[in-house]
Amino acid sequence: MPEQVQKLSAQTRVHLVGIGGTGLSAIARVLLERGIPVSGSDRAINPVTDLLEALGATIHLGHRAENIEGAALLLVTSAVKNDNPEIVAALEAGLPVMKRRDFLPLLLGGDTVIGIAGTHGKTTTTAMTTHILREAGMTPGYIVGSVMKNTGTNADGGGGGKSPFVIEADEYDDMYLGLTPRIAVITGIEWDHPDFFPTEGDMVRSFAAFIGQIQPDGVLIASADTPYSLALARQHESIKIVLYGRDREESDWFIHNLHTTPDGLTCFEAIERATLTAYPFKLKVPGAHNALNALAATLASAAACGVTFESAAKALESFESTGRRFQVMGEVKQMIVVDDYGHHPSAIRVTLEAARQRYPDHTLWAVWQPHTFSRTRALMSDYARCFSTADGVAVMDIYASREQPVPEVSGQIAAAQIAHHHPNAHYTGDIAATITDLKKCVTGKSVVIVFSAGDAIAVSAGLLADS
């Protein structure tokens, strides 16, 4: 690493290319709160960039070489190509150009890190861990993949000292390999991101490398419910391992007596297998998956800071989740509209199960905007079977994100595959057509969940608009 960026300081301006995105905007906020000058650019201005500008960042609309003037280094999003004029100018000037993986040691080198990884649940578990620590009187730094409702933001620089830094450890682009956590959580491992991990083996090897980054005196808290996470945990006996899940045989801690109360609360007991000691929990967020997230967050908080299970359970009673995680957007004409980030078959399945538990007397509709052509193609057999809990399924056009269209993969083809297993699944097309279709199809007491990691949140707004 060049000498001028061995340490961040008030004289080290960091320029972020793609500053308006979820990942880089969170880092930008942490930098600003720690007194590090920040500039950044993006193709569009949004509420996130407006907030960063209010905090002191210099924001540029569009990407131009002159934007990097005065910067000591560039931090770039994974979506940016190497021909970006700011990257070209930086390389010509001899400035370091880093991705998150490269930059995290510089940002968090002095922090006690709690890294929350896993194919599903890492955003909620990161937010829950942060909330527990804050309720325990600490001032943790944090980076979460969505805005926490309890704090109104997705990141904080933290209070330093003995307070840890809780970070969502993203497997995409091997971001988490830039971390050396004291405490690591793996909420489960299933194949995802086939554009980056061509095979399941590639992904498992990446998670194994992440476990290898844990400090020698650290702790791994891993789900016993997915074969890959269980197997990797069993292979790393040189560090302390705590297993949790629904599997009583394999788990050191497991959930028991899970149920939903008439007023919609998720209740369960966390049981330590060695002593059979039970701790009652009560959550506002629905479903067994969130009970498991709560258990993982409690174990992480206990391992990092000694927070008791009683204190954690009390803290989580006031946890309000994060944006786009079973987020109730509103209700119109007996139709409750929910926005959810779920874009993997397992995430969709457990969210629908949770919705059925929360709203047992409602008709349940799933609206799915497939996310990327590569994921849709690779996981299509699982998508075809994950909607069984829903009464109706509406399939939209694929949100391409960073990819180019693939002729043999489309929303219409995906809908036909699902229709082989579901009697009421059909293709709806783009956002406008989907809104029109649902307003005709959905009647009476109903819940509509819009599953999207793209722009289909506009469907929720359209359904709630007075028609």
Indicate which residue of 22, 77, 122, 190 is catalytic. 122
Amino acid at 27: I
Evaluate whether 154 touches 28 at the Cβ level (below 8 Å): no
Active site (annotated) includes residue 439: no
Q: Where are the extended beta strands (E) located within 187-315?
A: 219-223, 240-245, 253-260, 266-272, 277-283
169's tokens: 């450890």
Cα-Cα-Cα-Cα torsion 435, 439, 441, 447, nearest 10 degrees, comes to: 90
Active site (annotated) includes residue 122: yes
Which residue in 154, 147, 146, 193 sits closest to 174, CA to CA?
193
Q: How far apart are CA 463 and CA 306, in angstroms?
A: 46
Indicate which residue of 86, 135, 168, 190 is catalytic. 168
Which residue in 374, 407, 396, 402 sits closest to 448, CA to CA?
396
Evaluate whether 171 touches 186 at the Cβ level (below 8 Å): no
Residue whose entry in the numeric block shows the structure tokens 């359970």: 313
Question: Long-range contacts made by residues 434-437, C-beta under 8 angstroms, separation at least 24?
Answer: 434/367, 434/394, 434/396, 434/459, 435/459, 435/462, 435/463, 437/394
Active site (annotated) includes residue 403: no
Indicate which residue of 49, 77, 119, 123 is catalytic. 123
Question: What Cα–Cα distance (Å) separates residue 302 from each residue in 72, 123, 284, 311, 369?
Answer: 39, 19, 21, 10, 38
Evaluate whether 149 touches 320 at the Cβ level (below 8 Å): yes
Q: How far apart are CA 82 and CA 422, in angstroms?
A: 44
Residues with catalytic roles: 122-123, 168
